[in-house]
């Protein structure tokens, strides 16, 4: 491959709050830190650009307080923007609570990013060498989900589609999810998502769940299950294997999966083989969790350095 990444998910605003613990219902707590930034799919695209990829944002965005934050971030982020944006609706936002264990809790309000229509998607010229990323967050919105389910089958046969099902996967409409999976070449899920997608495999380990999910993808499809610091499982035509992770001191796991997907897809567009791309993504995600904030994916040189140190 030598093409660009076309990202079809959502860019919203993250209102990040660091707390010692999530308060009980009716309670209150004082945040020790806060940040308002562009987030969601912005983190994936930023990770890919930092790793050297060319990225086009195909999603929708709005006008207003949060829309301005999104627009400014898109302009500064180093990616092309396919849509003109909606003039009569603001972008959405997410309140992200990060507790002392680094666990994340989200509450999201949907805005213009949930209004991506089929007519918007056909505006985007996708070439056979391109790689398209689909997010479960996009599939969760009725307008976006229907548009993506209709648009994906018409992509060039050689275009690679990568699906990140998101924490919302259990609630996605079955016809929409099935249509997306049927055109997916690579499914990249975290451990919780993989378990939700394989409810009948109660006692199976993650590698077996990854193998079971292959049957829902395009023929020859690949499944990657991200298992935090342990690394990532791969299931493909060659079997099941674990690509080990990296031992780091995590301070904030927000955006780790985004960093993994962004760097993995960037590596694929350069023609790196599957295992090397996953190992690189593991390294990038490890570096990301050592920093606070959502868009903490490393620059390409930082990932190269960690890989060299581990191979020494």
Q: Give residue 110's pLDDT.
A: 95
Check if the beta carbon of residue 55 is closer than 8 Å to that of residue 48. Answer: yes
CA-closest candidate to residue 29, choices 93, 97, 103 = 97
- pLDDT confidence of 292, banded at 50, 70, 90? confident
Full set of structural domains in the chain with CATH: 5-10+40-61+113-306 (3.40.1190.20)
CA-closest candidate to residue 201, choices 212, 186, 192 = 212
Render pLDDT for 98-107 as a digit per residue (tens, 0 to 9): 899 878 788 9
With a cut of 80, say whether residue 255 has pLDDT above it: yes
With a cut of 60, say whether residue 1 has pLDDT above it: no
Q: Give residue 312's pLDDT.
A: 61
CA-closest candidate to residue 145, choices 174, 186, 185 = 174
Average pLDDT of the residues of the chain: 94
Render pLDDT for 182-214 as a digit per residue (tens, 0 to 9): 999 999 999 999 999 999 988 889 999 999 999
Distance CA 140, CA 124 (A): 21
Check if the beta carbon of residue 147 is closer than 8 Å to that of residue 122. Answer: no
Render pLDDT for 85-143 as a digit per residue (tens, 0 to 9): 999 999 999 998 989 987 878 899 999 999 999 999 999 999 999 999 999 999 999 99
| Mean pLDDT, range 49-69, rounded to an integer | 97
Q: How many CB atoms lie within 10 A of CB 134?
A: 27
Distance of CA 235 to the CA centre of its chain: 19
Distance CA 232, CA 227 (A): 5
CA-closest candidate to residue 310, choices 245, 250, 266 = 245
Instruction: Name the phi and psi angles at 275, rounded to 5.
Output: -65, -40
- pLDDT confidence of 166, banded at 50, 70, 90? very high
CA-closest candidate to residue 41, choices 91, 105, 107, 1 = 91
Q: Give residue 2's pLDDT.
A: 61
């Amino acid at each position: 491959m030598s093409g660009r990444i076309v990202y079809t998910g959502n860019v919203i605003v993250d209102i990040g709050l660091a707390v010692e613990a999530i308060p009980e219902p009716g309670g209150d707590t004082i945040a020790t830190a806060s940040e308002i930034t562009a987030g969601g799919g912005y983190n994936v695209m930023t990770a890919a650009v930092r790793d050297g990829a060319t990225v086009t944002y195909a999603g929708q965005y709005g006008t207003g307080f949060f829309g301005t934050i999104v627009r400014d971030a898109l302009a500064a982020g180093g990616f092309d923007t396919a849509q003109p944006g909606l003039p009569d609706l603001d972008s959405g936002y997410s309140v992200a609570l990060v507790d002392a264990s680094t666990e994340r809790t989200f509450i999201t309000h949907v805005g213009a990013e949930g209004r991506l229509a089929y007519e918007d998607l056909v505006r985007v010229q996708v070439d056979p060498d391109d790689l398209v990323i689909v997010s479960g967050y996009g599939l969760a919105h009725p307008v976006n989900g229907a548009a993506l389910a209709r648009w994906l089958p018409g992509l060039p046969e050689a275009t690679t589609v990568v699906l990140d099902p998101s924490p919302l996967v259990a609630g996605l409409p079955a016809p929409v999810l099935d249509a997306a999976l049927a055109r997916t070449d690579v499914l990249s899920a975290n451990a919780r998502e993989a378990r939700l997608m394989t409810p009948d495999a109660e006692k199976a380990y993650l590698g077996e769940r990854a193998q079971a999910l292959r049957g829902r993808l395009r023929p020859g499809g690949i499944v990657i299950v991200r298992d935090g610091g342990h690394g990532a499982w791969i299931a493909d035509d060659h079997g099941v294997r674990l690509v080990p992770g990296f031992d780091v001191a995590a301070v904030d796991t927000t955006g780790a999966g985004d960093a993994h997907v962004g760097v993995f897809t960037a590596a694929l567009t350069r023609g790196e083989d599957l295992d090397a791309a996953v190992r690189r993504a593991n390294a990038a995600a490890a570096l990301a969790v050592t920093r606070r904030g959502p868009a903490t994916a490393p620059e390409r040189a930082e990932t190269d350095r960690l890989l060299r140190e581990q191979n020494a």
